[in-house]
Amino acid sequence: MLHVSGARLRTADDRPVRLRGVGLGGWMNMENFITGYPANEASMRAAVRQVLGEERAALFFERLLTSFFTERDAALLAGLGMNCVRIPISYRHFEADDRPFEIIEYGFHHLDRVIGLLGAHGIYSVIDLHALPGSQNQHWHSDNPTHVAAFWQHRHFQDRTVHLWEAIADHYRDNPWVAGYNPVNEPGDPTGKVIGPFYDRLVKAVRAADPRHVLFLDGNTYSTDFSIFREVYENTVFVCHDYALAGFAHGGGYPGYTQGRWCDKDELERTFEQRSRFQRETGTPLWVGEFGPVYTGDPERDGERYQILRDQLEIYDRHEAGWSLWTYKDVGLQGLVCAGGPYLERFGPFIDKKRRLGADRWGSTMEEGAEALAPLHALVETEFPAWDPYPWGARYQTDDLVRHILIAQALLPEYAELFRGLDDTELIALADSFALENCRRREPLLDLLGAALDGAASP
């Protein structure tokens, strides 16, 4: 069982461990840019059920869970030298909104399976609750169909989350291959007043169910603000996220300017030091829960993105920071491996349409359809110059409401219709497109990671 000792994680026999690996995004918490659908997961599933019916939709999604990660995937990650996988999960696998506080035991089936596969290859798991009841942040990755993080407004949602974590902690309390629990991914409490007391309550409840496992706690405002912590809890890692500005879809050259800011390796290090200041001031372990550039398909630009990643990994090594790269598998934006086969043959044109419209927040340059949205942005700037909504301001909020919610939701029926007329064999083949043997490997990225893990001197 790992535990925190000063600024390091250590095993029971006091060997230091630096957790380095990937996030398993898009699996037990699906995301639009990872598997190619529009809008949020619950809305997508509802649209697909309308076309396929309950039983056949369940067949597809269950097969997708099975195919997305198998022993072959665990072996690939172990072969690269990774020792950690951060596993995002949605509360919906463990509890239904119409049956609150009733734990769905089958929710543990696939999670147990993958934690076991990883453990057999010497890889630790960090269980990350990525989508909470009521949505803990304002965006799609918390399965939020709106822009309102209702979790912070209703005690009911908070009670359900505490209850769910008591059940998860009790289930895994004796599992040594679970490194720990990441109970709230990228919280976005607009007031900053609810999250601190909630963490106090949650930590106490989890510790009562499982006093030994490490807690991995994200700061507020998408794991950037650690002023909300009123104490340094024991056996806890405070998790920062460290996406590089130049690595976003709208990023400029590297080194070069993005949105008027110069980005080079020195700037990457200054940013990391600022984002990890709380950890260094409190003498707690450094762990980057998410980071990683997105790729464009342009060899020259992608070469710059690989250099961003190479520089970040070198910085983390120098600071003895652990990390979890986002993300392992998708349809082509960031993954180490990317789905192929019948799924991309059938949904590829639709994914291209999403890209043309900028319907996915992650991967949008915010310039798609600029001629249509420019008058709206100008209107907002002229009529509401003081409007500065949480978390990222007026320009991002306008894009979220129009592009990533309105346009994305309008695309849902079109996505679901692509399932119509498929028989069970064809549905299984779609799901199996995400099996590793059917995936394309992003070889430059795999080579880069393998070299970085092989060459790192720290344990």
CB 238 within 8 A of CB 217: yes
**d(Cα 372, Cα 377) in Å, to the nearest integer?**
10
CB 65 within 8 A of CB 93: no
**d(Cα 230, Cα 196) in Å, to the nearest integer?**
7
Q: Tell me which of 186, 267, 304, 368 is the catalytic residue.
A: 186
**d(Cα 216, Cα 289) in Å, to the nearest integer?**
9
Token pair of 402 as six digits: 């129009």
Q: Tell me which of 31, 267, 290, 368 is the catalytic residue.
A: 290
Q: How many CB atoms are closer than 10 A to CB 353? A: 14
Phi, psi of 425 (to 5 degrees): -60, -40
Q: Is 290 known to be catalytic?
A: yes
Q: How many CB atoms are closer than 10 A to CB 163? A: 16
Q: How many CA atoms lie within 13 A of 392 on its CB side?
A: 14
Token pair of 343 as six digits: 């799924």
**Diameter of the chain by CA atoms?**
63
Q: Is 62 known to be catalytic?
A: no
Give the length of the chain.
459
Which of the residues are catalytic? 186, 290
